[in-house]
């Protein structure tokens, strides 16, 4: 006879499984009459134990990791919040946990510590002597910067270890927590074995008690560093793997080397491993179920996932060194014994100044003004030399003593019509302009008093002929004015 019991404050329900299910609602006095004393005590103790198995409300999760590793976004995803708001220092949140089998609900407290090392003193609010045995720790690293994983995980394990030492826990309590973690690893079995009635996991889920005879030996390399806390290492932003392949030339063996290294780290510290992506919603729901499994004992029937490189799932107790060595078989350019940062090196820093404008250095004011003065002087000298002056200076020969101031007699000699003077220069200049296009030789002023009609001048239009006539008349006027000035000078002498 299989007896299934449900209890409340007043009565106990007994269901006898046969071909038909018959439910009897009996009082405690009537049950005593039906059962013997031994059966009575065993059934009542079982009922009392089942009646008190409600989800506890003193459990908590502590999230540690560097800044920009996605801690706040990950917790918001587990909460079901779409727009997370990042705080500072030590953030507090909670996750609603529901047990569908017992129709019970509770809240899981979540503490998120800022990645700034100056906030380590806030750890005693989230992890203290009272909740040490009721706390699970999540360590986060980001796939956007895998070259920092070694330093980040080593740093936070050291911070966590030093903080636990500062709690001054009782040796018995600390040893009990460590032994509980060892028992969790030893009692792990594959999900397929859960169908067996004698499976340790099945008995753990029912009565949370394991016989020592059912415990398996601890695998090599596991729990070398035992802090007595359940630890889950979460790799966030795994969707960035495609960017690593395109921009940094990462290949499958790089990701295999990264995975085998972090699995060795988790094996050494007794940690679980999850590759997650909030953007693509990978393994987020499984992480929620696994947390409730480790904290509240709720069932978790998902096996280890190692096929997809961006959605790895390694439950605590499943991994071993032999399973990790399978990844090393596909690595050619690197080996598992290589130092992590020798293979996964930081990319060369890009020059941030390339998009900036070149900074201009100011020149001394006096030097700038002196340079501008020289430029102005040079431009004035160039503008002062006209073609007329240059030709006049070439046409007038210098005589001894001409460097000084000229006397009236010397000025008379310069203005004498018998020598090539100003009028000759003007005549030659205008003749060169008039006959530039036609190519005819220059003629004296007397010869251009009337326009010619032979040669190339016959091809000129009436307008051009009138312009040439006006130019000849202007030359005659200049010649007469020069002659008058010469005669006036001679009369004065």
Residue 319 sits in the same domain as residue 250: yes
Report if residue 134 sits inside a domain. yes
CATH number for the domain that contains residue 74: 3.40.50.300
Residue 256 sits in the same domain as residue 169: yes
Work out how many domains the chain is built from and give that number. Answer: 2
How far apart are alpha carbons 462 and 258 in whole angstroms? 97
- Please provide the size of the chain in residues: 493
State the average pLDDT over residues 213-226: 84
Question: What CA dihedral angle connects 402, 406, 412 and 417, to 10 degrees?
Answer: 40
Residue 91 has pLDDT above 90, yes or no: yes
Phi then psi for 142, rounded to 5 degrees? -110, 140
Residue 34 sits in the same domain as residue 126: no
In 3D, which of 151, 9, 137, 171 has the Cα closest to residue 62? 137
Question: 109 vs 36, which has greater pLDDT?
Answer: 109
Run of H or E including 90: strand 90-99
Residue 181 sits in the same domain as residue 308: yes
Report if residue 376 sits inside a domain. no
What pLDDT, on the 0 to 100 scale, is given for residue 414? Answer: 44
Residue 171 sits in the same domain as residue 107: yes
**Which of helix, strand or coil describes residue 428?**
helix
What pLDDT, on the 0 to 100 scale, is given for residue 410? Answer: 44
Residue 198 has pLDDT above 50, yes or no: no
What pLDDT, on the 0 to 100 scale, is given for residue 83? Answer: 84
Residue 234 sits in the same domain as residue 263: yes
Q: 309: pLDDT confidence band, cut at 50, 70 and 90?
A: very high
Residue 178 sits in the same domain as residue 308: yes
Report if residue 414 sits inside a domain. no
Report if residue 412 sits inside a domain. no
Residue 322 sits in the same domain as residue 295: yes
Residue 180 sits in the same domain as residue 69: yes
State the average pLDDT over residues 97-122: 91
Compute the chain's Rg from CA coordinates: 52
The domain of 19 spans 4-51
State the average pLDDT over residues 377-396: 57
Residue pair 144/240 in contact by the 8 Å Cβ criterion: yes
State the average pLDDT over residues 311-331: 93
Q: What angle do CA 80, 86, 92 make, to 5 degrees?
A: 70
How far apart are alpha carbons 336 and 324 in whole angstroms? 10
State the average pLDDT over residues 426-445: 57
Residue 145 sits in the same domain as residue 27: no
**Which of helix, strand or coil describes residue 18?**
coil
Residue 84 sits in the same domain as residue 30: no
How far apart are alpha carbons 270 and 404 in whole angstroms? 109
Domain end among 343, 370, 385: 343
Domain end among 343, 359, 375: 343
Report if residue 451 sits inside a domain. no
- Confirm whether pTM is higher than 0.85: no
In 3D, which of 464, 391, 482 has the Cα closest to residue 429? 391
Q: 404: pLDDT confidence band, cut at 50, 70 and 90?
A: very low
Q: 363: pLDDT confidence band, cut at 50, 70 and 90?
A: confident
Lowest mean pLDDT among 133-142, 211-220, 335-344, 347-356: 347-356
Report if residue 437 sits inside a domain. no
- pLDDT tens string 220-269: 999 999 999 999 999 999 999 999 999 999 999 999 999 999 999 999 99
In 3D, which of 58, 62, 80 has the Cα closest to residue 71? 62
Residue 169 sits in the same domain as residue 36: no
What pLDDT, on the 0 to 100 scale, is given for residue 371? Answer: 87
Report if residue 24 sits inside a domain. yes
Sheet holding 21-26, edge to edge: 3-7, 12-17, 21-26
CA-to-CA separations, 227 to 46, 219, 235, 248, in angstroms, rounded: 34, 18, 21, 37
Domain end among 343, 366, 382: 343
CB under 8 Å to 91, separation ≥6 — which residues? Answer: 72, 111, 112, 113, 114
Residue pair 345/250 in contact by the 8 Å Cβ criterion: no
Report if residue 372 sits inside a domain. no
How far apart are alpha carbons 74 and 66 in whole angstroms? 14
Q: How many CB atoms lie within 10 A of CB 338?
A: 14
Q: 443: pLDDT confidence band, cut at 50, 70 and 90?
A: very low
């Amino acid at each position: 006879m299989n007896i299934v019991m449900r209890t409340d404050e007043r009565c106990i329900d007994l269901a006898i499984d046969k071909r038909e299910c018959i439910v009897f609602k009996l009082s405690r006095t009537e049950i005593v009459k039906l059962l013997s004393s031994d059966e009575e005590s065993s059934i009542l103790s079982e009922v009392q134990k089942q009646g008190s198995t409600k989800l506890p409300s003193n459990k908590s999760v502590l999230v540690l990791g560097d800044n920009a590793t996605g801690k706040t976004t990950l917790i918001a995803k587990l909460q079901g919040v779409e727009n997370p708001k990042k705080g500072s220092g030590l953030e507090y949140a909670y996750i609603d946990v529901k047990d569908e089998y017992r129709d019970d609900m509770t809240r899981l407290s979540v503490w998120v510590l800022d990645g700034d090392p100056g906030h380590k003193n806030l750890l005693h609010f989230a992890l203290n002597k009272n909740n040490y045995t009721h706390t699970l720790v999540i360590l986060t690293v980001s796939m956007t910067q895998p070259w920092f994983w070694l330093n980040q995980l080593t740093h936070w394990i050291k911070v966590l270890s030093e903080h636990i030492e500062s709690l001054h826990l009782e040796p018995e309590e600390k040893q009990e927590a460590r032994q509980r973690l060892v028992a969790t690893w030893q009692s792990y079995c594959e999900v397929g074995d859960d169908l067996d009635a004698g499976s340790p996991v099945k008995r753990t889920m029912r009565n949370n008690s394991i016989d020592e005879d059912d415990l398996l030996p601890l695998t090599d390399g596991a729990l070398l560093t035992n802090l007595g806390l359940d630890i889950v290492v979460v790799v966030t932003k795994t969707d960035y793997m495609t960017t690593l392949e395109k921009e940094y030339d990462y290949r499958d063996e790089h990701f295999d080397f990264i995975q085998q290294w972090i699995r060795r780290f988790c094996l050494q510290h007794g940690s679980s491993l999850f590759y997650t992506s909030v953007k693509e919603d990978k393994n987020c729901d499984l992480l929620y179920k696994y947390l409730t499994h480790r904290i509240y004992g709720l069932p978790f029937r998902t096996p280890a996932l190692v096929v997809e490189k961006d959605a790895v799932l390694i439950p605590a107790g499943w991994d071993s060194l032999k399973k990790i060595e399978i990844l090393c078989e596909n690595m050619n350019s690197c080996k598992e014994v290589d130092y992590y940062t020798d293979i996964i090196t930081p990319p060369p820093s890009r020059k941030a100044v390339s998009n900036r404008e070149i900074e201009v250095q100011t020149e001394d004011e006096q030097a700038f003004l002196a340079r501008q003065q020289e430029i102005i002087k040079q431009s004035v000298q160039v503008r002062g030399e006209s073609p007329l002056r240059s030709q006049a200076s070439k046409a007038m020969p210098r005589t001894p003593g001409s460097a000084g101031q000229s006397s009236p007699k010397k000025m008379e000699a310069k203005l004498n019509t018998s020598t090539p003077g100003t009028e000759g220069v003007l005549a030659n200049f205008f003749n060169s302009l008039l006959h530039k296009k036609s190519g005819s030789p220059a003629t004296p002023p007397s010869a251009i008093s009337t326009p010619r009609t032979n040669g190339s001048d016959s091809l000129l239009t009436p307008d051009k002929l009138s312009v040439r006539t006006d130019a000849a008349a202007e030359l005659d006027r200049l010649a007469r004015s020069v002659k008058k000035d010469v005669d006036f000078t001679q009369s004065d002498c």
